[in-house]
Structure 1
Amino acid sequence: MSTFIVEGGHPLHGNITPQGAKNEALQILCATLLTPEKVVVENLPDILDINNLIALLSDMGVKVEKQSAHSYSFQADNIDIEYLKTPEFLRKAASLRGSVMIVGPLVSRFGQAILPKPGGDKIGRRRLDTHFIGIQKLGAQFEYLTTSKAYSITAPNGLSGSYMLLDEASVTGTANIIMTAVMAHGTTTIYNAACEPYIQQLCKMLCRMGAKISGIGSNLLTIEGVESLCGTTHRILPDMIEVGSFIGMAAMTGSEITLKNVCYDELGIMPDAFKRLGIEIVRQNDDIHIPAHDGYTIETFMDGSIMTFADAPWPGLSPDLLSVFLVVATQATGSVLIHQKMFESRLFFVDKLIDMGARIILCDPHRAAVIGSGRLNSLRGTTMVSPDIRAGIAMLIAAMSAQGVSQIQNIDQIDRGYENIDKRLNSLGARITRYSD
């Protein structure tokens, strides 16, 4: 288990470019299975989850060629379907949450898929009903194999378009259903579809490959099935969660930094939400400049009541950002309620922030009240264990702003979502040392 040793209290200065978006990249990589032709994907982040999925695709028979540090070509013209039944595939797929999205492309193109119970962050119940019900409505059949503890998905009569109203606007569920439907016979209508920029990116890529999708950017998608798809080139958006993480780091450490090429128009309400925390954000074309802050004060609502930040489907605030908002609020002046609606275990890391001196009341598994007193209540270094990607980056932000030295264990969780984060931050003035077992 690798560890970060973080010496807090050092301001950052300079420019940093966010990596490609992890959540988009997982969808796009799975979509390369939909065609036997070559697909080039640019701006892929060099992180553990993405590298593991690329390795899994290669093991399945996809021809993978690394063209540059962040650009790969994929050609799925000789997929080994029998490999999906092997213990090796089941083990590798089970360790990666994003593997659930290979089901749609495989069933769409080959009429069959195998899915072990996927892994990922331990942040509470993460059900797959939306995926399964949507794919079943298109004609697929699911069978649970008790011996291998995996689902066998087949489409013995082919796939046919269907109307469906999703029970939740699941991003990965919507992506999986879209990829299943693009080559189904007839018309598919998906209502209450997720409409995040990453879903829009997936739809635009599929349309360049020959798919017929209308309603992109809305929660009502109409898909006309086609016979086959061709190759294309696609560029991944910058990771908005990393953009938010860097904004939080700048605020917490009183730093002046510039985030380069952030695709500002795709960030939704996130910049305005940080402004409500009292953080000054200056847009410079497609860059974000964060001036040095001596302190920042949380706004209240118009009636004077305490500000609440809650996650919501797009264009609401991403649940992946709430951990960052929570830790940034500890050093603000004012109070805020953080309401994590989607996952019941994501706020449990706050006990470590309390150990560091943060004034937080964990009301229940979904809500935390943060009482900020500005720089008068500076955090102090401590030892922590990262339970998941987003809590891990929040811990790192806290440690960088704290007085003294902190130790963060299990940083493999952070590496799953953030590319060379220690090296990139050290180049701006941070003091982070990595120790690997």
Structure 2
Amino acid sequence: MTTTGPDTNRSGRPLRVAIVGYSFMGTIHAQAWTTAPRFFDLGDGVEIVAVSGRDAVAARAFADRFGVADVETDWRNLLTRGDIDVIDICTPGHLHAEIAIAALDAGIHVLCEKPLANSVEEAERMTAAAERAAARGVQAMVGFSYRRTPALAYAKRLIAEGRLGTVRHIRALYLQDWIVDPEFPLVWRLDADQAGSGALGDIGAHIIDLARFVTGHELTGVSALSSTFVTERPLPTASSGLSATADSGSGGSADGDRAMGRVTVDDAVVFIGRTDGGALATFEATRFASGRKNAMRLEVDGSLGSIAFDFERLNELQFHDHTLPAEESGFRRILVTEPQHPYAAAWWPAGHGLGYEHTFVHEVTDFARDLAAGRAPEPGFADGLLVQRILTAVATSASADAAWTPIPH
């Protein structure tokens, strides 16, 4: 479908945003859009004009919470309103492609949560739609929010300035423990039809993108192993406060008085790779690291130094300068809260740290500024497609008992 998009002349009026999805990620994005113009100069500001979700009552509660006027129970209605500049997609992955392609073809900018899609074929179609739209001045970005963590943006700056020399090792981990309990319900993130993959796509996508972003290297091939440790889980109930769609396709069986469903995604994945810059890379993504809540870690070792980062201490970067005399060398802690650090000047006095939600504020700020300047935002859908190809290569290798799998570029 191709329609006439909204008026691109925004002089004197705010950027008008519609959010599709009102659960955890929709809430984070709504908070970001609401906060961004209060701390960053976004010209005429931002307004969330509508939220779309299948449950009208839940969507209305979300809208009231964030002061949003309109609720749509069918996202397609957003395309023909004529008063929306951006559609922000915060749904499960199986819905990304249809919504994004329709919005871009309708002349509406798109911010889409990661991973971009559930398959390479979907990501390719989305990227083609983004390229068509860009020719008309309509932009698309994929939401790898961790790029906007000040410490990681600063790490990228150090590497780009040559402070680490030749990059030789990349070590990336994402460790969580929220489904260690086998009684945890079968939510949509454990259903391949909706999520595409498990820890691989949900959190592995983040560390793949960060390795690319921080180092500038691209993976050329991988060898992987994956495992599903708990193969059946109780189906969610209304009292659990969790949900999975009725048509999840995950199957079911009776276990005593409980209705059980089959887990169809990976619980954990490990893989090694080689980059086009000659570095060796190791990755691990798991939801079964007991005691680790959101331990996203990145280490990069070079000929002149190293950096190390842990998101559970997200305001800090560890830096080792190997050019110093041995008696002075070692890792030192950099508190990344000075006004000279990325994004930090907009916030609090030095030493007053930021949190998880700030990465999303930075993300929508960069996106809004790129739209105002008429430039392509980063990461674009082409970046999302490349990450999808890496995810697919990892899954292919794991299914073939760690066979070396090249990555097409």
TM-score normalised by structure 1 residue count: 0.29
TM-score normalised by structure 2 residue count: 0.31
